[in-house]
Amino acid sequence: MAKVVAYAGDFDKLDNESWDDFHTRTQGVMDGLLARSDALPDDVVVKGVISFPVADGSAFYMVSKEKPLHLIHIPYMDAWEADEITIRGLNVSDVKAMLKRSKSMPRLKPLIHIPSVEEAKDTLANAKAGATADLKDKVKDKAVLDVENRFNNAMDDAQAAFWGVITGSFPEIKSGDLSADVAFKFHNVINKTAATWLIDNCPDEMEASELVPSEYLPKQ
């Protein structure tokens, strides 16, 4: 029977760290853990990384002790967890078999998490907490937040519609895995494409900054 403990550090968002930087950093940490796991000898399980399919991603665990079997939950991306019965019934032989399978085939990484409006608000809250000088210069006002919320909501809806068409057209596909780097690039491309379209077609009586977050506006 396996015992699970929490992972310390690495996957916590740092103060004033953007979501893009957070995802890039944690992706690098995860890639390192997987590479180390795949390089282990076949009879070694400690530091091996195993995963269980959950929802549209995977729950990741690293072996910290063989006897008795101890696992560390890795809170990668959406931090999925396997159900308690699955973990409790796990033994060393199961882990060795899982590690052997993972070395013989490419690992499937969960779809990269796209920052939500709530995460955007959290980013703003952190910025406000750290602002000690001129709040007018260092903290985004409500009008700017409204622009970001509107844009982020539109992008979330657009991606949901896109994947709805794809999954509806290919019902035989039962998993939701996608290479994290591809998903990350997809997210950036559609955001930049939408922002460019909005800027190029902005009505004369409006400013592009009323439609597009500042990060996508042309540099002055």
The full set of domain ranges for the chain reads 3-104, 117-216
Nearest to 160 by CA among 146, 149, 176, 172: 176
pTM beyond 0.75, yes or no? no
Nearest to 3 by CA among 50, 73, 57: 73
Helix (H, G, I), strand (E, B) or coil at 175: coil
* CA dist., res. 89 & res. 212, Å (int): 51
Query: pLDDT (tens digit, 9 = 90+) per residue, 16-64?
Result: 888 788 888 888 888 888 888 888 888 888 888 888 887 767 888 988 8
The identity of residue 184, as a single letter, is F
Tell me which of 46-50, 108-112, 162-166, 195-199 is least confident: 108-112
Query: pLDDT (tens digit, 9 = 90+) per residue, 110-159?
Result: 444 545 556 556 655 665 565 544 545 444 456 667 888 888 888 888 88
Q: What is the mean predicted confidence (pLDDT) over 182-186?
A: 78
* CA dist., res. 38 & res. 35, Å (int): 5
Strand partners, 28: none
Tell which wins on pLDDT, 81 or 107. 81
Tell which wins on pLDDT, 206 or 127. 206
